[in-house]
């Protein structure tokens, strides 16, 4: 009778009876009883997380401030957790995560830069150079270019002709760089006048042409990022960050939305208007799926503050609310020559920061900049986290470089870092 009662109790409480003297919990771990263990090649600082870290000792805690990264989780009753904060790479799916890192992954911080957002990295293979944008301070009409032909790489500034005020997102297409331009001012030094929109630059001459700067007379709030489909249509997100960064002197006139622009005709169409703060955007390799990040936990106010953590070089008017959206959405692209979006679904809620720049690897994996937080996440096409790269600075956007497109640059606030690993970027057209 006693044995029957004990067996029933164990079944109800989730224990498994191995013998009369041995009990174990149903949770299967990595054998060490720890959430985090070292893994992968000895030449790299890689930590594997047991079962996605789904069970932590009840003493764990985490600050809700979105600028506090995943490593800011406090787990006092598991000493192994200290390995996570010190790691360069964190793996959630051991098989696929270690495979994408390869046999000798390496992370290198290359440049210290201003405590302002750095965005829109675009690699030009014919030059072996990386073009990067610096969002601020107000009035800045210079861009950055990194020469990868020398070791170590060198960085310099340049101005386009005519000058371009605050490009943000960028893609390489058909030998040229296409930019979303969020700067909005008609009283800049040197008589520069600009409204937000889409522009294209020829890297050889650095001459710029404006392709779009209004929606039927309304000003855009601040085009953020873009992707180009197989038809040559430009899909771009429109956000109001420029106003919060004091790069725009006009409050938003239309809803924040995602648009499709056809350069051959000049037609611009709203394709998505449900996200709180549309941000990064990218197509799957076959062009049948569009991914958009929603950094809705970042909201633009009217009063300048130093921002949480005082991490910015000058006061900004952007506020952070951790309970608002920090998601990635996937959509099916249908409609042939006149494409539109259906079947919206959320595939990922960011584990830190607010998802910002988004790129899709050659094999379809998503690489997502953490925005406010230090690093980026690597997901499969369904949003399952495989691994993450951890940096010493916030990361706003990313770009693959090099002959084999296996070097990933991560640019953001106060730093630029590169990672050499096995995950290959998409072919450049």
Domain of 277: which CATH number? 2.120.10.30
Average pLDDT over residues 343-364: 96
Task: For residues 21 and 33, state if they share a domain.
Answer: no
Report the alpha-carbon angle 321-386-293, nearest 5. Answer: 35
Hey, what's the torsion of the CAs at 282, 286, 287, 291, to 10 degrees?
-40
**89-91 and 46-49 strand pairing:** parallel
Residue 407 — pLDDT band, cuts 50, 70, 90?
very high
pLDDT for the residue 303:
66
Contact 133, 144 (CB under 8 A): yes
Task: For residues 22 and 114, state if they share a domain.
Answer: no
Closest CA to 178 of 234, 96, 101, 118: 234
Rounded to two decimals, the pTM is 0.91
The answer, yes or no, to whether residue 250 has pLDDT greater than 90, is: no
Domain boundary among 91, 113, 135: 91
Domain boundary among 44, 73, 91: 91
pLDDT digits (tens, 9 = 90+) for 61-113: 998 887 788 999 999 999 999 999 999 999 999 999 999 999 999 999 999 99
The answer, yes or no, to whether residue 184 has pLDDT greater than 50, is: yes
Range of lowest pLDDT (258-272, 289-303, 332-346): 289-303
- Residue 428 forms part of a structural domain: no
Contact 369, 356 (CB under 8 A): yes
Task: For residues 118 and 142, state if they share a domain.
Answer: yes
Q: Which stretches of 189-341 are DSSP H helices?
A: 241-244
The answer, yes or no, to whether residue 402 has pLDDT greater than 90, is: yes
- Residue 427 forms part of a structural domain: no
User: How far apart, in whole angstroms, are the C-alpha atoms of residue 16 and residue 240?
Assistant: 55
- Residue 389 forms part of a structural domain: yes
Contact 398, 357 (CB under 8 A): yes
Task: For residues 179 and 80, state if they share a domain.
Answer: no
Task: For residues 227 and 79, state if they share a domain.
Answer: no
pLDDT for the residue 213:
98
User: How far apart, in whole angstroms, are the C-alpha atoms of residue 331 and residue 272?
Assistant: 10
Sign of the CA dihedral with 93 first, then 97, 99, and 100 last: positive
For 193, 205, 215, the CA distances from 327, given in Å and listed in that order, are: 35, 39, 27
- Residue 318 forms part of a structural domain: yes
What average pLDDT does the chain have?
90
pLDDT for the residue 321:
84
Residue 429 — pLDDT band, cuts 50, 70, 90?
confident
224: helix, strand or coil:
strand
- Residue 99 forms part of a structural domain: yes
- Residue 103 forms part of a structural domain: yes
Residues in contact with 2: Cβ distance below 8 Å, sequence separation at least 6, in sequence order? none
- Residue 425 forms part of a structural domain: no
**298-305 and 316-320 strand pairing:** antiparallel
**Domain span at 278:** 94-420
Tokens representing residue 358 in the block:
């988004």
Task: For residues 63 and 190, state if they share a domain.
Answer: no
Range of lowest pLDDT (47-56, 292-301, 314-323): 314-323
Closest CA to 294 of 371, 221, 367, 229: 371
Task: For residues 295 and 404, state if they share a domain.
Answer: yes
Residue 252 — pLDDT band, cuts 50, 70, 90?
confident
pLDDT for the residue 3:
40
Residue 186 — pLDDT band, cuts 50, 70, 90?
confident
Task: For residues 415 and 352, state if they share a domain.
Answer: yes
- Of 260 and 5, the structure prediction assigns the larger pLDDT to 260
Task: For residues 308 and 372, state if they share a domain.
Answer: yes
- Residue 37 forms part of a structural domain: yes
Residues in contact with 250: Cβ distance below 8 Å, sequence separation at least 6, in sequence order? 184, 219, 243
Task: For residues 133 and 58, state if they share a domain.
Answer: no
Domain boundary among 39, 64, 91: 91
User: How far apart, in whole angstroms, are the C-alpha atoms of residue 235 and residue 258?
Assistant: 7
Q: Could you tell me which residues are beta bridge partners of residue 79?
A: none
Average pLDDT over residues 261-284: 98
Residue 311 — pLDDT band, cuts 50, 70, 90?
low
Task: For residues 212 and 350, state if they share a domain.
Answer: yes
Domain count, the chain: 3
Task: For residues 234 and 207, state if they share a domain.
Answer: yes
The answer, yes or no, to whether residue 175 has pLDDT greater than 70, is: yes
């Amino acid at each position: 009778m006693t044995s029957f009662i004990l067996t029933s109790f164990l079944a109800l409480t989730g224990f498994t009876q191995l013998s009369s003297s041995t009990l174990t919990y149903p949770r299967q771990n990595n054998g060490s009883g720890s959430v985090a263990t070292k893994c992968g090649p000895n030449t790299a600082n890689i930590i594997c997380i047991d079962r996605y870290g789904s069970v932590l000792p009840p003493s764990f805690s985490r600050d809700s401030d979105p600028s506090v990264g995943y490593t800011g989780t406090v787990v006092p009753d598991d000493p192994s957790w200290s390995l996570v904060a010190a790691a360069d790479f964190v793996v959630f799916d051991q098989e696929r995560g270690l495979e994408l890192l390869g046999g000798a992954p390496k992370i290198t911080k290359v440049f210290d830069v201003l405590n302002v957002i750095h965005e829109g990295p675009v690699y030009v293979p014919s030059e072996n150079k990386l073009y990067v944008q610096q969002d601020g301070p107000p009035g800045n009409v210079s861009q950055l270019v990194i020469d990868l032909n020398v070791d170590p790489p060198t960085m310099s500034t340049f101005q386009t002709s005519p000058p371009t005020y605050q490009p943000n997102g960028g893609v390489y297409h058909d030998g040229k760089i296409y930019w979303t331009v969020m700067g909005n001012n008609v009283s800049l030094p040197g008589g520069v006048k600009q409204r937000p929109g889409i522009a294209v630059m020829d890297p050889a001459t650095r001459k710029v042409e404006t392709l779009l700067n209004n929606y039927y007379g309304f000003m855009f709030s601040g085009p953020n990022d873009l992707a180009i489909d197989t038809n040559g249509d430009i899909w771009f997100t429109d956000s109001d960050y420029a106003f919060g960064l004091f790069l725009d002197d006009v409050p938003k006139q239309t809803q924040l939305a995602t648009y499709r622009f056809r350069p051959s005709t000049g037609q611009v169409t709203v394709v998505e208007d449900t996200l709180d703060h549309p941000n990064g955007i990218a197509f799957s390799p076959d062009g049948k799926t569009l991914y958009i990040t929603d950094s809705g936990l970042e909201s633009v106010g009217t009063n300048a503050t130093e921002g949480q953590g005082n991490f910015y070089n000058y006061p900004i008017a952007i506020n952070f609310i951790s309970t608002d959206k920090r998601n990635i959405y996937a959509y099916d692209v249908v409609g042939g020559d006149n494409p539109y979006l259906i079947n919206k679904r959320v595939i990922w809620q960011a584990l830190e920061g607010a998802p910002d720049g988004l790129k899709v690897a050659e094999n379809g994996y998503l690489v997502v900049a953490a925005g406010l937080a230090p690093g980026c996440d690597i997901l499969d096409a369904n949003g399952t986290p495989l691994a993450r790269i951890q940096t010493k600075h916030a990361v706003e956007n990313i770009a693959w470089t090099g002959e084999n497109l296996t070097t990933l640059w991560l640019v953001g606030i106060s730093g630029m870092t590169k990672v050499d690993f096995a995950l290959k970027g998409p072919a450049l057209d």
